[in-house]
Every structure is written in structure tokens, then in C-alpha cells.
Structure 1
């Protein structure tokens, strides 16, 4: 019943009377209450009824359906926090909640934007490290700068990730200069030092990350601080470049992703022995064309695939790596930005992998789209098949030439007719992926959808489709798969009588 009610809660055909009944039933089911709270057609009375249920009220607050006048921050602190998170609360609430005895409440408050400065100061001095660490992630520059000297290393790690942290402070976190050493970290809070956490730790209640260690210098957390700072675009490049030869792969990967490094640092990183570093460098938009061409010959794991996503990749380089890079069916940035003349050249390429990548665009000129639809290579045709504007005759011609290899992509075409989709659903041999595309297609017929029910993955999609016969929808309410039950209950074609029966 739970999953049926969850589906029913989002059913667009639910009447106001049934919504009222569902709200009453949701008083004992927080998940259902939250699902109902997401509806856009709630009346003010229904919103008020849901506001008495904490989970639903929090959802309503995030959706902008509650105001500060609707909330008592003393009796409903979690709802008040939700409004503060949306900048819809009152400033005085922050002062009240900063004194809440529950650290969890203060931690959530620390993540709220726009808090008064005195509240920020109170939270920064909170005795619970979790509160200060959460604040450090979002604090303005002055508070972040103060928290960089916090005695707990976990707070400093959050400061390092905060893009509002001043550049000079980030430099100190990277180099250690100008800051006194941290006095504690999560590792030495929990374990006697020296301690190295076993990557295969079998303790069920242990939350330390694999390899976390502390010998009194909090080394693993200090490493995390440096990594966070390297990933922070506000960190000064002068402090970052010294990590190009760092023994930690994680540091060099973080550095390789930065777009503000001197050319000589990129040249050093392109020679890195670890493919992960070179792969991270490969799609960095700031590397030179010479480095792009160097990486095009790199057969290290994932290097060429990442290079294919470089926004300024020369098209001749793309042609050279298209077949070997394992790019898959994705629209690459360089293909998306190709000019009209470049599109024509790509369409005329002798390399079918290049034509396949071009066919991922959905705004091709009709003559190029039609030429690719007639391509002799099945992968090219499969790539172009979902392109809007193709006629039923063209889609059927694809099937005649290439059969099941293109069937699923033909089914995904937005202009596929109801007749064509019905024929695809009854195709022999069947193409399982096609059933999923048919089941979500707005033009699918009842006959096609009934055929889709035979496929396990397509079954929930078909159960949600409004063209499915009402009798079949009702039967699916008893399905053994909860996803199917939830989808059937959400189907707007579900008879009202069946909706009523679902509500206890």
C-alpha cells in the first residue's frame, strides 16, 4: 500500500477531495506526506493541513509554499531551518537556533545563507567541531579566514574548500606557512596515535575513510586540506604550482584540473607517469594545442576519451582518435560548436566514427540529416535515428537496412508515429532496449504498451503511460515490483474508483 500511495500522491488526475483523503492518510506516513507536498495544485487549506506534518512542512518550505508567519521556530526548528535555507526566515531565528542544545540543529543552521554576522561568530566558536566545519564551508571571507586557524584539522579542510576563503589564507593552507599546526583531527579524536586505518576494516561502526592516518601530525587530513585547496579556484597559482612534482597522485590530479597554471606546469604534467593525471589534463581548456596533439597519441587509460571532450579540440585530432577513444553516444563540445562549414566537412568524413559523433547533434541541416540517415554504417544511422524531422518512410528504411541494430533509436525518435511504434513493439526478433523507448514515447498506443509490459525494465515506464488501458493499470497495482505499482498508481488514466480504493 505504501508504494501505491506514493504513486497516487503524484497522480495529476487526483481530485481535490481525494487529495484531502490522502493528506489524512499521510498523517502516519511521512514519505507519502512529502510526496503530496510536492503537488502544485494544493489549496491553501491543504497546505495548512500538510504543514502540521514536519517532513511535509519542510518540503513546503523549500517549495516556497510556507512563509515565516506560518512557522513557530521554537516548536518547529527544522521547518524554520528550511525557511532560513531558502532565505525566507527571520534574522532573529538564527540567534535562537544558534543556542539550540542539539548540535544537529546548529550544524544545519551553519549551512544557511545570509545569517547575521553575530550568529556566524557564535557558530564559529561552537564547541562541536561539526558545526564549525559546516560553517567553514559557506562562511564569508572574514569568518573563513578566522576559521583557518581553528585547532581542529577538519574545520581547516572545510575552509580550504570554501571559494570565499581569501587567497592568502588558501596559500597558507597549501604550504603550512603562517598557520600554527592543528591540534587534532578525526583520526586522533577516535584512535590512539600512531594509527593507520585498515582499508579493509571490518568494524561495522567505523566511519573513518580507508587509509586515514595520524601520527600526531594529522597527516591524512592535512593532505585532504591541500587537495581541497588545490581544487579551489580561489587558491593562488603561485602556491599551487609547487605541487606539480608532489608524490601524491591525488594532488597532481587536482592540479591538472586547474585552468590558471603557467604553460610550463602543464608541460610537466603531460609527462606524468600516472594516466589519471594526464587524462585529467586532457580536457583542460587551458592547455595548448601542442599539448593536445601530444595527448592525442597517449594510449594511457581514459586519456583519449577525456581529450575528445576538450572544447577546442582540432577536428583533425578528433578524427584521429574518434574510433579508438571509446567516446560512446554523446554530443561532444567541439561537435556542438562546429560551424556550418565544419559540419559539412564532418558529414563528408571517410571515418564513420566521426559521422556517428556528428549525428549526435539534433540541429543538423535537413540535407545533412537526411544524408546521415542513408549512411551505410549502422552506428551512424543509430546515432541519427532520434533526430527530429525524419519521416516515417526514412525511419522504416533504416529498419529495412539495419534491423534490430537501430530499432531502439528509431523508437526514440520524437516524430515516430503510433503505427510505427506499434510495429516496433511487435518486431521479431524483439529489441529489449526498444521497449523502454516505446514505453516512454508520448505517441505509443495501447497495443504497443501492452507488449512493453513483457519487458522487466520497460514495465514501470509502460505502467505510467496514460495510453495504457485502464483495466491493465488496475491489474498492475498488484504487481510484485514496487516500481510498477508506484507507476500504475501515478497513471492519470487510473479510474477514480481504483484511486478511492487505494486510500485507507
Structure 2
């Protein structure tokens, strides 16, 4: 977006326009400074919501200075956005740690996963249990041992602290009788859980507890086979089937559940690639570093997610395999990195996807940054709105396509066209001058 266009947008005086502008990830630091001084708090809150990795000119120190200023903003929503920013300076975080608004402290506790011990202690002893709970997660440091008992004593923090607590057989039995399913699920995942308690939890009435038992490294093969059949078989109601499918399908992303396999030595992961359970094969493939011949073998795995994960995490996968996977099964945004983002995805593959009869594939064709303008133009006139919307934001969109996109029946297409990279400044001047 050119500086001239930015000036036109800011000059419109429309707070909603300024708010949308604030989400643009390539704004120069001078513009961020002006947004940080905007009278509307919704606009000011967009500055810290941009994210730590977003490009800022001339350097990130400017953004740090803005965060320091916005940390003293009178509006809690702005301070909450600063507290959630992963690159907030230590001085800012230390101030917000004692903010009078609970939501601000919660946002800080939730996002500050590398807090120094003294700061983590302050958050874990906050007067509000929701703040204490927000500072407990698999991504946070383990809570200090002297806080285990008080955190275990409160229902809001019991499940969160449980993975760090030293279990005795008596305590494990008491927690297994808890009426809180989140507590029993956390207990089921504990590495030091006595075998008798784990066996009992395998028959727990709550499905999330049984899933945790199934994912555990320590259950015997026969118990794992029985649980897997129960949790994935036809006997469940629709809601339980969805829950088990979601938890098992995404376990490979969670080191608190599958870290024992994700981070295992290559030899152990290779052995699990022959597991009868797709969730184990996914985790084994996600660890990366697999030999080329193993990756090619996994391209024939019956579970398409195993194939996606193996391909996305391999430097050896051929480009034609990546394209074949996308053509046959599409993309899945829950599996990152995307196959179309892989450096070995063939450039001509995007051209072929653009000419597909499947609108989902035409949509992914627009991930090709060098897609020819003629194809982008054709996709801008696609019968499917989501394809037109994606085409409107492509860098090779011809300006001649904009009038029809701006008159589109779909409001989201119109909005995407208004933010097009090559939008002419005179057009924007006329649009912002219109009433309403």
C-alpha cells in the first residue's frame, strides 16, 4: 500500500477505515504512531494486535516504544491488546502485571509463557483465580513447588497445576474421584499415575478422560486397542464421536499429550510409523527429519493427514507429490505448513490449479505469488465469491478488474477489492469523498 493511499485513508476521518487500516501488516512506523494517537480506542488497539513478527519500518524498536505508550492508555481494551502482545518489553509487562483490570492481567498471564520466575510467581498468586489459571498451561514454566498446594486447593487452578504435582497413590485416588472432568483428564495424562488408577480411568464416563488414557504412553496394548475401538467405533453418539475425532486428530500438535513421541529419537519414531493408530503415525511423522525413502512410503499411508504432515515436514518430498496431494485432497489449514507453501511446490502447479473445475483448488491457486495476471483476472470473475475475494488481494491483479469487484454482490469481495495492493489513489479519493 502506497504512502499516498495511506494518507487518503487517514484523511477520510472515518474511524472504521482507520481501524481496518491498522490491521495492515506492512504499515510504516510513522503511520503506526498516528494510529496509536487516534481518538478511537478501537483504532489504537489495532497497533499492538499486529503481532510481534509483523514487518515494521524502520525497526521493531519503534513498535516497542508504541507499546510503552499504549500500556498507559486509559482504555482497558487497548492495554489488554498490549498485554497480549508477544514482544512487549519487560518494563511494560511488569507494569501491566499489576493493572487494576482483571482482563488485562489475564491477557498478560495467558501470553507470557516465558515469564521470569519472579513475574510468574506474581501472576500465579494474583487475587483473581482466572489470572492464576491463565498462567498455567503446558507452554508456561512449571509453577514453583511451594505453590502447588494452594493452586491444587482451588477448583479454577487444580487441573492446570496437576501435571506438575507429585502424585502419591492416595492423592491420585482422591483426584480420580473429582467431579471435575478436566481434573480427571489432567490426571489421566500424568506420567506418574499409578497403573490401577489409570486402568480405572479407562472406563471413565467422560470421553475426554478416556482419550487422555488412550494417548498415554503407559497403557498396555490391549487397553489401547479396546479404547481406540470404543472411541472411534460406531457405538458413540454424534457429539462424542466429534469430540474424540477432534482430540485424537489434533493430538500430534500438542507436546503435552504426544511430546513423548514428537520428540523421540528417530529410531523410535520410525517404529511408530507402523502403528495401527493414525494419531501415533501423525505424531511420528510430525517430528521431521525422516529419510527420503520413509517419506515416500508415507505418501501411501491410508490416512491423508499422515501424508500431509510427512510431506509438509520433509525437505525431500517431490513437487509432484505435493501437487498430487492438493489435487486429490485439497488443503487443510489445520495442518501447517500448507502444502502450497512448501518451497518444492511446482510453480506450474499453481497454473494447473487455477484451471481446475474445483473451486477449492482454484482458491489455492492464488497462493502462487507469480500466477500470471491473465489467470488472476479470470479468477477475479470466478462464479464462486471466495475465489473472487482471494483474487482481489493478489499482487498480480490487473487494475482493470477492480471496477467489477467493487460492484460485486458479495460485500466481502468489495471489501477485499478496496484493500487491493494496486488500488489507484484517485479512485480511493473519490470513494472516501462519498457520503456514508
| TM-score clears 0.5 | yes
Larger Rg: 1
Structure 2 match to 1:4? none
* CA distance in structure 2 between the aligned counterparts of 1:473 and 1:36, rounded to whole angstroms: 23
Structure 2 match to 1:497? 426
Structure 2 match to 1:474? 403
Aligned with residue 10 of structure 2, among 2, 11, 23: 23
Change in 2 beyond 3 A, CA 1:74/1:17:
closer
Structure 1 match to 2:139? none
Could you give the per-residue CA deviations for residues 401-427 of structure 1, whole angstroms, max 9, x where no partner exists?
xxx646889994766666654454334
- Structure 2 residue ranges without an equivalent (≥5): 51-62, 110-117, 137-141, 233-243, 253-257, 262-267, 333-337
Change in 2 beyond 3 A, CA 1:316/1:353:
farther
* CA distance in structure 1 between the aligned counterparts of 2:289 and 2:95, rounded to whole angstroms: 54
Structure 2 match to 1:107? 102
Which structure has the higher relative contact order (CA within 8 Å, separation 6+)? 1
Classify the secondary structure of the residue corresponding to 2:4.
helix
Cα deviation, residue 334, structure 1: 0.5
Cα deviation, residue 315, structure 1: 5.5
Cα deviation, residue 38, structure 1: 5.0
* CA distance in structure 2 between the aligned counterparts of 1:248 and 1:500, rounded to whole angstroms: 58
Structure 1 match to 2:284? 334
Change in 2 beyond 3 A, CA 1:30/1:94:
same
Please state if 1:237 is matched with 2:164: no
Which structure has the highest helix share of the two? 2
Cα deviation, residue 433, structure 1: 1.6
Change in 2 beyond 3 A, CA 1:294/1:408:
closer
Structure 2 match to 1:295? 224
* CA distance in structure 1 between the aligned counterparts of 2:95 and 2:173, rounded to whole angstroms: 44
* CA distance in structure 1 between the aligned counterparts of 2:71 and 2:155, rounded to whole angstroms: 42
Please state if 1:171 is matched with 2:149: yes
* CA distance in structure 2 between the aligned counterparts of 1:446 and 1:255, rounded to whole angstroms: 56
* CA distance in structure 1 between the aligned counterparts of 2:328 and 2:44, rounded to whole angstroms: 49
Classify the secondary structure of the residue corresponding to 2:185.
helix
* CA distance in structure 1 between the aligned counterparts of 2:96 and 2:345, rounded to whole angstroms: 55
CA contact (8 A) 1:67 1:88 kept: no
TM-score (ref. length: structure 1): 0.56
Aligned with residue 57 of structure 1, among 31, 44, 47: 44
Structure 2 match to 1:277? 209
Please state if 1:483 is matched with 2:420: no
CA contact (8 A) 1:470 1:493 kept: yes
Structure 2 match to 1:444? 371
TM-score (ref. length: structure 2): 0.64
Structure 2 match to 1:212? none
Shifted more, 65-74 versus 310-319: the winner is 65-74
Change in 2 beyond 3 A, CA 1:319/1:59:
same
Change in 2 beyond 3 A, CA 1:165/1:473:
same
* CA distance in structure 1 between the aligned counterparts of 2:314 and 2:94, rounded to whole angstroms: 56
Cα deviation, residue 243, structure 1: 1.6
CA contact (8 A) 2:4 2:425 kept: no
Structure 1 match to 2:274? 319
Please state if 1:32 is matched with 2:18: yes
Alignment of 1:60-459 (within 5 A): 60=47, 64=63, 66-67=65-66, 86-87=88-89, 106-108=101-103, 110-111=105-106, 141=121, 147=127, 155-156=128-129, 159=132, 162-163=135-136, 167=145, 170-172=148-150, 174=152, 225-226=154-155, 228-232=157-161, 233-238=163-168, 239=171, 242-272=174-204, 274-284=206-216, 287-288=217-218, 290-291=219-220, 294-298=223-227, 299-302=229-232, 306=248, 309=252, 310=258, 311-312=260-261, 319-322=274-277, 332-337=282-287, 340=290, 344=293, 347-348=296-297, 352-353=301-302, 357-358=306-307, 360-362=309-311, 364=314, 369=317, 384-386=321-323, 405=328, 412=340, 421-427=350-356, 430-452=357-379, 453-459=382-388
Change in 2 beyond 3 A, CA 1:68/1:266:
closer
Structure 2 match to 1:42? 28
* CA distance in structure 2 between the aligned counterparts of 1:75 and 1:247, rounded to whole angstroms: 42
CA contact (8 A) 2:22 2:46 kept: no
CA contact (8 A) 1:319 1:351 kept: no
* CA distance in structure 2 between the aligned counterparts of 1:47 and 1:80, rounded to whole angstroms: 16
- Structure 1 residue ranges without an equivalent (≥5): 1-11, 99-104, 115-137, 148-154, 176-224, 374-383, 387-394
CA contact (8 A) 2:106 2:134 kept: no
Structure 2 match to 1:220? none
Change in 2 beyond 3 A, CA 1:440/1:502:
farther
Cα deviation, residue 455, structure 1: 1.9
